[in-house]
Amino acid sequence: MLKEPEYLKSGDKISLVAPSFGCTTNPYKDELVRAINNLKEYGFNIYEGENIYKNEGVLASASPKKRAKEFMEAYLSDASLILSVGGGEFENEILPYIDFNLIKNSIPKWFMGFSDNTNLAFCLTTISKVISIYGPCAPSFDLLPFKLEIKDSLKMLEGKKHFRGYKRWQLESKRDEFHPFEPLNLTKKKIIIPYKYKEAKEGMIIGGCIDCLANLCGTRFDNVKNFIKENKKNGFIRYLESCDLNPLSFRRALFLLKEAGWFKYVKMFLMGRPYHFNEEIMGLTFIKSAKDILKSFNVPILFNIDLGHLPPSMPFKNGAIAKVSLIDNNIDIKYK
């Protein structure tokens, strides 16, 4: 049985941590400072972890042990939400120093983060049996009024159950070091491509960035087979998005997870917009790769949903039961 943390309310404490990158350069540092002020104005108390402005590790805020220590202290504190300040490259290296059993037997806390934070969010759910959120990192709260996906992440943390995708998305950003507070450049009309979709499906939602998931597969932090067995009565809705992968490496990653048994009892796949959107190699696209590898499951696949490194990206609640529909070219998710 999975544990769901208590929903957030005004006055609750948010602990900021840097399990991957720290916010040491702009625009990230300025965004984080502004985001902290916005979250305080919203009504939260903010605790700043010791690593959030550091760059002392290998492409990371600090050493794996120090990053793990910061996270564990935050999780065992009186914070209601542990919020990552950024994605990055090597969050997986902190996993040997995370006490997942202690977390499993502690009061559940929300953890939210994006991209490289798949490592913690996914393992907290599959190993420690705590519902987590794959959603925006702290610097994304830098603009007021809050952006679409930022509003949804707050509503999810506060207990909202029903979410729907957005009308347009951003292919190219206007934001850079000199213009850190540019709003989203929503110029592309969203078009979801359905495959074998006929009706809504209900199941347990679980997923993240496939770049990270493929690297967890087969390690001692891969508890997926046990997790699937324990929750098979619900069936699964698997959501996936990619950052660094091209269509070839994306295909290999899907093949790996499929053959490792990660997709057993799947009811639906939700595919986000890949960061390498529109990339094609020798006629191979992301959509063709997914169809070729996943067609044997004979379940619906929705491509180009509002998920991934091309914003806006909806928050997803790992380990929660939800009904997922396609309504008027838009994804509709109702959590139980």
pTM, full prediction: 0.97
Q: What does pLDDT average to over the chain? A: 97
Please tell me the distance from the alpha carbon of residue 244 to that of residue 116, in angstroms, as a whole number. Answer: 11
Quote the number of domains for the chain: 2
Please tell me the distance from the alpha carbon of residue 243 to that of residue 179, in angstroms, as a whole number. Answer: 23
Domain assignment present for 1:
no
Domain assignment present for 2:
no
Domain assignment present for 100:
yes
* Rg of the chain on CA atoms, in Å: 19
120, 143, 160 — which closes off a domain? 160
- Claim to verify: residue 180 and residue 328 sit in the same structural domain: yes
Q: What is the pLDDT of residue 156?
A: 98
Q: What is the pLDDT of residues 77-108, one digit of tens each?
A: 999 999 999 999 999 999 999 999 999 999 99
Q: What is the pLDDT of residues 294-308, one digit of tens each?
A: 999 999 999 999 999
Q: Which domain holds residue 26?
A: 13-160
160, 184, 210 — which closes off a domain? 160
Domain assignment present for 102:
yes
- Claim to verify: residue 81 and residue 191 sit in the same structural domain: no
- Claim to verify: residue 154 and residue 177 sit in the same structural domain: no
160, 176, 207 — which closes off a domain? 160
Q: What is the pLDDT of residue 241?
A: 98
Domain assignment present for 316:
yes
Fill in the amino acid letter for 188. Answer: K
Please tell me the distance from the alpha carbon of residue 134 to that of residue 294, in angstroms, as a whole number. Answer: 23
Give the contacts of 145 (CB within 8 A, at least 6 positions apart): none
- Any idea which of 16-25, 27-36, 179-188, 315-324 has the lowest mean pLDDT? 179-188
* Burial degree of 74 (CB within 10 A; 0-12, 13-18, 19+): buried
Domain assignment present for 186:
yes
- Claim to verify: residue 146 and residue 224 sit in the same structural domain: no
52: domain CATH number is 3.40.50.10740
